[in-house]
Amino acid sequence: AQSVTQLDSQVPVFEEAPVELRCNYSSSVSVYLFWYVQYPNQGLQLLLKYLSGSTLVKGINGFEAEFNKSQTSFHLRKPSVHISDTAEYFCAVSEGNRDDKIIFGKGTRLHILP
Amino acid sequence: ETGVTQSPTHLIKTRGQQVTLRCSSQSGHNTVSWYQQALGQGPQFIFQYYREEENGRGNFPPRFSGLQFPNYSSELNVNALELDDSALYLCASSSGGGGGARDTQYFGPGTRLTVL
């Protein structure tokens, strides 16, 4: 069965500093990988997704993620964060042969410090 | 273009009652997925509807049921409410051939259900 582990429940970072949010997954088959962001009192918004091809995926708002099959990781990065990036970030996985269901991690809360 | 809308925004029910949550999909989308997000947790997949048929289901009991209408809007019904059903219920719509993950899912703001 597939699962997603987000290693940090909270990440504090100073404004304009770089950030990395970690995500590891487990699956016995090929996967699709996603990062979603949830701002307070809002639904989820897709930041980026990996389906196939290049392992470096660029998304919205300056975020990018790298798929590493050998380490079963899909870490999210941004070179310089802004106060507006304060939100909950969810990593998610879907099995390639069963793409109706997306499995989410528990989320990482990003705190931007002034 | 109208995004995904959900109603009501908040709801309070007591144990044993039944509840119906509604979702209007984004224009042009024919697939709706429902998720339950408990406090401090990630969303959990409940089920997906594609062209009015259930297209996949997560590990939720049969008292969680759904419908999709010809205009692709959807309802989530929960019978015999339990305290653990308290959560944010998210609806997401997408387009394409029932492919829930490959097609980008657009989420609504959710309905917060409190069961007392």
**In this model, does residue B62 exceed pLDDT 60?**
yes
* The pLDDT of residue A61: 93
Which chain A residues touch B if contact means CB-CB below 8 Å? 4, 32, 34, 36, 41-46, 49, 51, 90, 92, 94, 98-107
* The pLDDT of residue A84: 94
* The pLDDT of residue B116: 96
Contact: B56, A43; criterion CB under 8 Å:
no
**In this model, does residue B5 exceed pLDDT 90?**
yes
**In this model, does residue B104 exceed pLDDT 90?**
no
Residues of chain A under the 70 pLDDT cut: 1, 96-100
Contacts of A44 in chain B (CB under 8 A): 43, 90, 92, 107
Amino acid identity for residue A84 in this structure: S
DSSP string, A8-67: -SEEEEETTS-EEE--EEE-SS-EEEEEEEE-TTS-EEEEEEE-SS-SEEE-GGG-EEEE
Q: What is the tens place of the pLDDT at every residue in B12-42?
A: 999 999 999 999 998 888 889 999 999 989 9
B4 touches chain A (CB under 8 A): yes
Contacts of A42 in chain B (CB under 8 A): 109
Interface test with A, best of B105, B106, B111, B112 (most A CBs within 10 A): B105
| Closest by Cβ to A104, choosing from B43, B104, B106 | B43
CA separation for the pair B86, B115 (Å, rounded): 5
SS3 B74: strand
B116 is written with which tokens?
Answer: 């007392």
| Closest by Cβ to B107, choosing from A32, A44, A49 | A44
Closest chain A residue to the Cα of B35, Cα to Cα: A102
B10 touches chain A (CB under 8 A): no
CA separation for the pair A44, B107 (Å, rounded): 6
* The pLDDT of residue A99: 55
Shortest CA gap A82–chain B (Å): 23
Give the residue with greater pLDDT, B7 vs A29. Answer: B7
* The pLDDT of residue B2: 67
Query: At CA A43, angle to CA A38 and CA A45, rounded to 5?
Result: 60
* The pLDDT of residue B97: 58
